[in-house]
Amino acid sequence: MANTPNRTSTTGFCISKQKVTKGDIAQLCDELKTEFGVDYDFVPEKICEGGIRMTSWPDMKSTSGYKTMRFATSGKKTSGKWPWITETDPLPAWRDQKQQGGDLIFEPCDKILFYKAFYGAPVWTSNEEKLLATVFTRIGFNCRKVSKSKSRDKQLATK
């Protein structure tokens, strides 16, 4: 059997929560940094469907490379819209909103994560996916696999 190269994009797991606010997304970014480690940075992504961008990691070789987990529709009802982000770093304002509940983004939220790696960034790994699930669960999201197919799991790097 031929060795298949790691793909630069693949589906992740499904996430759901009754409502998601900017404060929740700020908390998610902060907790991802804590779980992954000090050499990692996460920010809300400036993209219409929404997502979280990993902007730094250990042994980062390219300043233009980045990894992202985007919020794709799952086919179930999700109301709301990802906010248009104009700030270089929206996290300080979004963190402040956590104290007051924050501006609503999705209610309810039922999304599929879609992992991508751009401009030489390493592909997402199965260990990173486990860390993602740990953090999403910790802050109140329900996480479930998209499919029982093992072929999707083979698209993640094994490091």
117 domain-assigned: yes
| CA–CA distance, 157 with 27 (Å, rounded to integer) | 27
69 domain-assigned: yes
The model's pLDDT over 25-75, given as tens digits with 9 standing for 90+, comes to 999 999 999 999 999 999 999 988 889 999 999 888 767 888 999 988 666
| CA–CA distance, 22 with 154 (Å, rounded to integer) | 33
2 domain-assigned: no
153 domain-assigned: no
> What pLDDT, on the 0 to 100 scale, is given for residue 135?
96
Q: Answer for the pair 158, 5: CB distance below 8 angstroms, yes or no.
A: no
- DSSP structure class, residue 156: S
| CA–CA distance, 136 with 117 (Å, rounded to integer) | 20
157 domain-assigned: no
| CA–CA distance, 158 with 12 (Å, rounded to integer) | 14
Q: Domain range holding 64? A: 9-143
Can you give the pTM of this predicted structure?
Answer: 0.83
25 domain-assigned: yes
User: Tokens standing for 155?
Assistant: 């698209």
What sign has the CA pseudo-torsion 102, 24, 30, 55?
negative
135 domain-assigned: yes
The total number of structural domains in the chain stands at 1
18 domain-assigned: yes
